[in-house]
Amino acid sequence: MTTVMTSRASTPAALAAASGAGLTLVAVAWIALGTATGQQWDESAMNTVTGGRDTRLAVLSVLGYVSIGAVVAVVVACVVVALLRGRLALAAAAIAVVAGSNVTTQLLKHSILERVDFGLGTANSLPSGHTTVVASAVGAALLVAPALSRPVIALAGGFATTLTGASTIVAGWHRPSDVVAALAVSLVWTAGVALLVGGRADRVAGTAAGAIGGCAAALLFLVAIGVRPVMGWDGFTQSALVLGAVTAATALFVAAAAASTPKE
């Protein structure tokens, strides 16, 4: 099978992705934290999906792999790949994406954003730290990888990010808005750093399809291990919308991050 690449300027795509992600972050934070309706929607959405004991143990096992050690390993791998390609700027870019995304998430969650008291608790959990760790790692990998490998990275990255984000919801650790906000933070940094690196980008056919396929595969995996609507078939539509929205948002993140990456 022949892989087709088309060359284009990376700046417009990166600028559009960074701007869109920034606006999304602001909108999600305002609605989910600052409005009663948003908080009610978010809380209800988090409680639409569940799983039995074995299912919860499985998702907790997935989340257990998301650690500081994993972040360091990903950063080191990205730096090594970039240096082997003779791209010192990309090595620095990968570090900036991962460090910037995770520091931003922690500052937003613990120091900047506040959850208004509408009777649903005031402890802020937005953005999701676990989702940011994985999403920023995917963004960094897309930045440093050779263009022809990006469909594979998009596939694996979509799977890992969707699985992590959805697992935090199933485990009851995060609301859907927390996951979407984490994706937005990671895309702001990925596209923003790509904008600074500049140059031209290679659009590789199959990258968007890889992102969609990976995200869909993660959703099917969650169903296979026992993730179910809390209300049974009566809650199928609502739970499908929640998990479908998280899956779609992740696919969009991966595709946008890939579209922003500079030419090798």
Q: What is the pLDDT of residues 148-163, one digit of tens each?
A: 899 999 999 999 999 9
Return the pLDDT at 6.
44
Per-residue pLDDT at 3: 47
Angstrom CA distances, 172 to 45, 51, 117, stand at 11, 11, 20
Count CB neighbours of 100 within 10 A.
Answer: 18
Is pLDDT at 11 greater than 90 in this prediction? Answer: no
Q: Which residue has the tokens 């972040």?
A: 71
Mean pLDDT of 243-255: 97
Average pLDDT, the chain: 91
What is the pLDDT at residue 136? 97
Residue 9 has pLDDT above 80, yes or no: no
Q: Is residue 201 scored above 80 in pLDDT?
A: no
Which pLDDT does position 114 carry in this prediction?
97
10 has a pLDDT exceeding 50: yes
- If you average pLDDT over residues 79-99, what whole number do you get? 95
| pLDDT of 18 above 50 | yes
pLDDT in the model for residue 2: 40
The encoded tokens of residue 206 equal 């199959």
| Residue 7 confidence (pLDDT) above 90 | no
Rounded Cα gap, residues 120 and 35, in angstroms: 11
Count of helices and strands (H, E) across the chain: 10, 4
CB 136 within 8 A of CB 98: yes
- % residues pLDDT > 90 (the chain): 77
Local confidence band at 5 (pLDDT 50, 70, 90 cut-offs): very low
Phi-psi region of 226 (alpha: psi -120 to 50; beta: other; left: phi over 0): left
Q: Cα 83–79–214 angle (5° rounding)?
A: 120
2-16, 74-88, 142-156, range with the lowest pLDDT: 2-16
pLDDT surpasses 50 at 48: yes
- Looking up tokens 């396929």 gives 213
Task: Please tell me the predicted confidence (pLDDT) of residue 232.
Answer: 81
Task: Say whether pLDDT at 199 is over 70.
Answer: no
Q: What is the pLDDT of residue 202?
A: 61
Interval 111-141: pLDDT, tens: 999 999 999 999 999 999 999 999 999 999 9
Q: Where are the domains of the chain?
A: 19-260
pLDDT at 105 over 50: yes
pTM of this prediction exceeds 0.85:
yes
C-alpha 188/C-alpha 201 separation (Å) is: 18
